[in-house]
């Protein structure tokens, strides 16, 4: 199992990116959270099998329709044992 703190930069606010991230997480069996940051970036906490995390990040890089992902930064973090994947306000 692996846990990552992910920051997504680019045009990711107002384009259903958080809902897109949740759909990707469910598809790849990832638990965690996603939320908009006041810096116009999106923060994702993702936990799951390492291969599933890699597939999740690959899909996130493509972005939702209307979004434009410019950069993704990741940092390994400790497991927080999320039960599911939630979109935070």
Is there a catalytic annotation at residue 31? Answer: no
Whether 89 shows a pLDDT value over 90: the answer reads: no
Catalytic hit among 18, 22, 31, 52: 18
pTM, full prediction: 0.95
CA-CA-CA-CA torsion sign (82, 83, 84, 89): negative
Q: Which architecture characterizes domain 2-87 according to CATH?
A: 2-Layer Sandwich (3.30)
Mean pLDDT of 21-32: 97
Is there a catalytic annotation at residue 40? Answer: no
Whether 43 shows a pLDDT value over 90: the answer reads: yes
Q: What are the pLDDT digits (tens) for 68-83?
A: 999 999 999 999 999 9
Domain ranges, ordered by start, for the chain: 2-87
Task: Report the mean per-residue pLDDT for the chain.
Answer: 96
Catalytic hit among 27, 36, 40, 73: 36
């Amino acid at each position: 199992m692996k846990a990552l703190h992910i920051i997504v930069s680019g045009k990711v606010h107002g384009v259903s990116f958080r809902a897109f991230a949740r759909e990707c997480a469910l598809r790849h069996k990832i638990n965690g959270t996603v939320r908009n940051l006041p810096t116009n970036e999106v923060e994702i906490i993702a936990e799951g099998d390492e291969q599933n995390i890699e597939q999740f990040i690959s899909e996130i890089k493509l972005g939702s329709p209307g979004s434009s992902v410019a950069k993704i930064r990741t940092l390994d973090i400790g497991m927080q044992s999320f039960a599911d994947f939630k979109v935070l306000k």
